[in-house]
Structures are given as structure tokens and as C-alpha cells.
Homo-oligomer: A and B are copies of this chain.
């Protein structure tokens, strides 16, 4: 089924399923499990110090000999240092986000690496192609965590991106089932990147309280649009932000309420009341905390059902 798939061929994987490199959720155990299952695991370097990233790379290698990669948010303070560490450790696949891929494209191409950048608009997709990226991830409004200002949904954004560029497009945001995966492949995407569904698995490094809050909850909203837009599950903290925003709070006031360390306290330390619980709209679909291998079984079975529905 995937013999001619461009993403499978580019990344040397069995299924065109990428696990989003999420902060606090994408440690070595999750990454190795996804790569072992036939997808591509991505270490979330955005919540690791460079030396923690080095350890995590080694841990992944101790658990799998399959391909894996590193997600690198280019605007993070330690991005340059983390990039050097990953190159020293001979990482060959980089998914970059939050910034311009031009900054790193030459260096990574010279090192023989594959470079994929995350975009929220077709205009940035074109810039990525021009910069030499091998593929793009287009991430829609429904995605969890940090999000673009364009608010284009995966259905529209994916269509715009496949029409705008010749490099393969990986669709992200709103994908937790094989049917949703099939929908994106029907649009012309070559693969999918899945975050939330993998965050709520046994192998994810997120806190159990956070995973259980997602299982119990359904309501997410994109907030902090005057700061950096982020999609959060409803809790006391998000309600405080929403109330401030409705009252017209400016960026400075919002940053004051946000403070520091909220993402870590919510997702890693398990404070589901005062912490930031990043998750996509598919939270409403997530009803259990399975193993990664089980998620893959469901995705592939449901994908085949979806293909049948199209009566092809």
C-alpha cells in the first residue's frame, strides 16, 4: 500500500505516520516505540537542555535501530546548541519549526540530513521549498499547542499547500484516526504528523494526570493570540486567560498571568488545575491511554475502512 509513498521513501519508514515532537511528551521511550511500530518518532528538543537531548538520542538508539529524528523549534534559546549536539550524535532527520528554515538549511544539507519544516500557511510552504526543505508539515488550526495566526484548518491548509509546492506535504492537526489520515491522503498529503493521540499513550513522557485530563475532557480553545497562540484544554488556568482576553487584556498583562513554567507544570509535573495543558481538538475523540503499537493497529485498520468507503 505504501510502496510508492514519498514520505515512506524519503524517511525510510513503513507507514507515512510521523509522531509530532511535542514538548514534555516526546521523550526517548515514545520515540523508540513509534519508530519500532513503523512510523517516525521525533524527540521534542524544545523541552530538553542540549545535554538531555544527547542522552535521549543515545536512549532511543539503545531501544531501536529504526530511523528517528529531532524536532527543533528554531526560536528557542538553545536551538543552536541543540542542533550541534544532534549533529555530533549523527542524527540524520530534522523537523524544524517556529522560525525560518533558511537559518539551518545549508548546514543540514551539507551534513547530509533530511530537513522538514512546519508551516501554517501556503506562503511559508513556498519559502521552505525555495530554502531546500525536503518536505513540509502543514499544521492546521485544530492542532494542539502552539499554532499559527492564520487559523487555516487542516482541510483548507493542506489543499492550499499541495497546490502551492512540489515537495511532499505532511498534514498535521486534527488527525487521531485512520479515517482522518485517509482524508488528508485524499487531499494530496503524502503523510500525516500526529501529536495528541501519541501524547496520550503509555509510552509518552507526559504526566499521567495530564493524559487522564485529556481522556476526561473535550473542550479545547486557541488562546493567547496576543502572545503566541496556543491550543489548551479547559482548566482553571485557561479560564483565567480567557476571562482576561475577553476583558481586553494587553500582551503584557497576559504574559504576567502566564508567568513561566506553566507548560512543564501542567504536562510534565501533572498540575492539571494551574498548568498549561496543550492538546488538539481531537481531545474530544481520545478516550483511553493505549500503547503506541495499539494506536498503530487502530490507525491502519481504520485507514483501510476509510479507503473502502470511497468505493475505489
A contact residues vs B (CB 8 Å cutoff): 1, 122, 140-142, 151-156, 159-160, 163, 173-177, 179-180, 182-188, 221-222, 226, 246-249, 281-282, 284-285, 306-312
Contacts and interface: CB of A to CB of B under 8 A. Distances in A.
Contacts of A186: 179, 182-183, 186, 306-307, 309-310
Q: Select the residue from A1, A152, A177 with max chain B CB neighbours within 10 A.
A: A152
Contact of A281 (B156, B183, B247, B310): B156
9 contacts: A155-B174, A155-B175, A156-B174, A156-B281, A159-B177, A183-B186, A183-B187, A246-B248, A310-B312
A160 B285 contact: yes
B179 A153 contact: no
Closest CB pairs A-B (n = 9): A248-B248, A312-B312, A183-B183, A155-B174, A153-B153, A182-B186, A156-B281, A142-B153, A307-B312
A178 to B, nearest CB: 9
A221 B174 CA distance: 19
Nearest to A222: B151
Given A159-B285, A308-B312, A179 B174 contact: no
B248 A247 contact: yes
Contact of A153 (B155, B285, B310): B155
Contacts of A177: 159
A119 to B, nearest CB: 14
Contacts of A154: 153, 155
A310 B185 contact: yes
Nearest to A2: B311
Nearest to A177: B159
Pick from A163, A308, A312 the residue with the most CB of B within 10 Å.
A312
A306 B311 CA distance: 12
A1 B309 CA distance: 11
Given A156-B285, A186-B306, A307-B310, 5 more contacts: A141-B141, A152-B284, A153-B281, A186-B186, A188-B309
A155 B157 CA distance: 12
A282 B174 CA distance: 18
A5 to B, nearest CB: 9
A140 B157 CA distance: 14
A140 B173 CA distance: 14
Contacts of A175: 155
A310 B182 contact: yes
B174 A153 contact: yes
Contacts of A285: 156, 159-160, 163
Nearest to A249: B248
A179 B188 contact: yes
Nearest to A140: B153
